[in-house]
Every structure is written in structure tokens, then in C-alpha cells.
Amino acid sequence: MGGTPPARRTIRLFPDYGRDWPLWENTTSTWDVGYTTTPETYGLSEPLKVEIASWNKLWEDHFDPFEGWDDDANRAKWTADGEAIAARLRHEVRAFADVQYEPWPVTSTRGQD
């Protein structure tokens, strides 16, 4: 008997203001990572790291929590890129973690509901 295997990790993917990386994880009894994490925490590839940074910057530059997206093209790009990033992240961490993708509401643009 080798004891209890470590709990599977859950990486949460969502942007938030003031954070360079939209990566989060609750500490468990087997993984003491805090709450905010970085690509280095998971050993992510450089291409995925660049994509995550670009996706996060697009959100910071074009989304306002009160006004929504500045235009439909930015909203659509962010939405599509986020889904692709979540899929790539799932692939890269599949050996030790699951990914919970939590995008902000993407249905509105400024001046529309």
C-alpha cells in the first residue's frame, strides 16, 4: 500500500482585474499553492503562456465590468480564444489537473444589452 494518492488539482481559468495571469487554484491538503497561480506553477509551454497573456490583455483592454465589451469583434475573438486556451490548458495539465473555465459574461457590448 502506497497510501492515498494525491487529490487531483483543479485549475480555474478566468480573468480578474489587477492580475497578470487568469489562473487560480484552491490549496488542497496535497497541493499548497495559495490561490493565484502562474504558468510556471504548472510548467506550461511557452506558446500557451504567450496565448494566455494575450487573451488576458485583450480582456483588460476591451472589457469593462459595467459597460461590457467595447465591440462585438473583440468579444467574439476573446470568446473563441478563451475556449481554445481552455482546451490547450486541459491538454497540457491532463496528467495532474482538471481545468474549470469560467469566462466573464460575454453577451453584451457597450450601449447594448
Q: Please tell me the predicted confidence (pLDDT) of residue 4.
A: 56
Examine residue 96 and state whether it is found in any structural domain, yes or no: yes
Q: Please tell me the predicted confidence (pLDDT) of residue 18.
A: 86
Examine residue 2 and state whether it is found in any structural domain, yes or no: no
Examine residue 95 and state whether it is found in any structural domain, yes or no: yes
Examine residue 5 and state whether it is found in any structural domain, yes or no: no
Examine residue 63 and state whether it is found in any structural domain, yes or no: yes
pLDDT band at 17 (very low <50, low <70, confident <90, very high): confident
pTM: 0.83
Examine residue 58 and state whether it is found in any structural domain, yes or no: yes
Range of the domain at 64: 10-101
Q: What percent of the chain has pLDDT over 90?
A: 64
SS3 109: strand
Q: What percent of the chain has pLDDT over 70?
A: 81
pLDDT of 60 above 90:
yes
pLDDT band at 77 (very low <50, low <70, confident <90, very high): very high
Mean pLDDT, range 87-102, rounded to an integer: 96
pLDDT band at 112 (very low <50, low <70, confident <90, very high): low
Report CA-CA distances (Å) from 102 to 22, 29, 111: 10, 24, 24
Examine residue 40 and state whether it is found in any structural domain, yes or no: yes
